[in-house]
Structure 1
Amino acid sequence: MTTPATVLDVLTTDNPHQPRLTCYDDARGERIELSGAVLANWAAKAANALQEEFDVEPGSVVALDLPTGHWRTAYWAVAVWAVGATLSLDVHEGADVLVTTAPTSDAADDSDEVVAVTLPALARTWQGEDLPTGVLDEAAEISGFGDDFSPWYDSSAEDPALVRAGDRWTMAEAVPTVEPGRVLLAVADPAEHLRTLVGLWAAGGSAVTVITPEGTLPTGLTPDPLPARLVQEGVTRVVETPPGQ
């Protein structure tokens, strides 16, 4: 059975050098392409940070306050599931750990621990106002964690994997069946976006995401005609609706 917690293994064993996620961050003028091996490396470092710095384990709740479709959102989600913790997208409810671009927000005040994420690819330190004491600066510190990850505790298929706005998915429910391929992933709901992404990876596929200057995903695109850069990326279909809907 494929669960979110097993996706890290899939990324490193199923054509690990194949592109799995290409992210156009038009707000920052960046194109980032990650193979399965590179994604797994980022996820392993993030998972080690959660486990070693914050004692995150099955039963812990990690909230993500990062842009839908961004490559950093993808590897942090995989990291949370690799540890066996619950990924929450309801950041206003507080969490054991909050991973965020806004480390001085009210949501940060309501969480026990905070990781500050800087989105630009080449950032080597936090680029905003001074961080509060105890906040982990991902850009400065994540590289110091190990490239391989082994969880300290086992998770079960019935453990909660994902929560958003009253909806909950267990580890057994979180990975939908998705047709493989090279797709433009434009599912706007953040929970369904992540579920579709890991389902696509589990099927051996890869995704292209585009974050507009407004911080949103493009809508209303069809395979014919696609924008030229998506044709160049080998995109063959657009996914805007989650599997099963």
Structure 2
Amino acid sequence: MTPDAVLLRLLRTDPTRPRVTFYDDAPGPTQGERIELSAKVLANWVAKAGNLLQDELDVEPGSTVALRLPGEHWRTLYWALAAWSVGATVVTTDDDADVVVTAEPVDTDGTQVLATLAALARAATVEVPAGAIDEARELATYADQLTPYAEPAGSDVALRTPSGEVSYDDLVVSGTGEAGRRELVTGDVAHVAQAALAAWVDDGSVVLVREADPTRLEDRLTAEGVTVRP
């Protein structure tokens, strides 16, 4: 099963049920945010990001998209799904990529998409480098429906990390956990994205907490009805 197929099944099963719940405990202006995404809302973000990637940046099967984002963040999930929707390889290595989606300006030979983590951001809060795309300002202008121009082969690389590569055929692990589970997912970009896909295949949902405050975590997980923890 492909990531596209996983998202489509969520939309058909229950488009309004929460599939991602995010808390931000990181010190700074976003501390205290709580974001909840249904399958419908998640698909909307994926479509807009996917259209930006393929229409504006010519991303296609064989292209590489580096995600320099916090692993435990809702924006990480839709950017990973968007890259996979257009057949690209998501990379978490330090190598240069064709496109770098980053929360902080970086020195790269590729095109930067500067993602502002704040939920209601309408423009970047830092200086946007020349040639970079301000996601907060520009993403909303892209279409809510995505039709990929090409599909990757099953043997194409979907994910490249310092520990190796994962093909599209092996990216989604199905039927391995509690059906309908509410799962706390922690870890880096690659682990969070794959764990979320696995939970969604089992008709579940995920809870992400960025830089979790241990004094609040237990009560929060109880309130959210989390049934599976790392």
Could you state the TM-score of these two structures normalised by the residue count of structure 2? 0.91
Q: Structure 2 counterpart of 1:74, which letter? A: L
Report how many residues are paired.
222
Structure 1 residue runs without a partner (length 5+): 220-225, 241-245
Shift of 1:189: 3.7
Whether 2:80 is the aligned partner of 1:80: answer no
Q: Does 1:123 align with 2:114?
A: no
CA shift digits 1:86-128 (9 cap, x unpaired): 00011x200110000122x23xx23x21100000001100001
CA pair 183-218 structure 1, distance change in 2 beyond 3 A:
farther
Match of 2:39 among 27, 36, 40: 36
Counterpart code for 2:44: N
What SS does structure 1 have at the residue aligned with 2:170?
coil
The residue aligned with 1:183 is 183
Separation in 2, partners of 1:29, 1:138:
22
Within 5 Å, which residues of 2 pair with 1:26-175?
26-27=25-26, 28-90=31-93, 92-103=94-105, 105-106=106-107, 109-110=108-109, 112-128=110-126, 130-175=127-172
**Aligned equivalent of 1:243:** none
Secondary structure of the structure 2 residue equivalent to 1:183? strand
Q: In structure 2, what is the Cα distance between the partners aligned to 1:218 and 1:160?
A: 36
AA partner of residue 158 (structure 2): A
**Equivalence map 1:201-220=2 (5 Å):** 201-212=200-211
| Structure 2 residue matching 1:172: 3-state secondary structure | helix
Runs ≥4 residues deviating over 4 A? none
Matches of 2:95 and 2:12, distance apart in 1:
36
Give distance in 2, aligned partners of 1:48 and 1:39.
14
What is the aligned-residue RMSD (CA, Å)? Answer: 1.7
Contact 2:69 2:189 in 1 (8 A): no
CA displacement at 1:69 relative to structure 2: 1.2
Identical aligned residues as a percent: 45
Q: Which runs of 5+ in 2 are unaligned?
A: none
Q: What is the Cα deviation at residue 16 of structure 1?
A: 1.1
- Answer whether contact 1:5 1:83 (CA < 8 A) is retained: no
- 8 Å CA contact retained: 1:8, 1:43: no
Distance in 2 between residues matched to 1:7 and 1:136, nearest whole Å: 28
Give TM-score, length-normalised by structure 1.
Answer: 0.86
1:138-163 per-position Cα deviation (integer Å, ceiling 9, x unaligned): 00010000001010012221111001
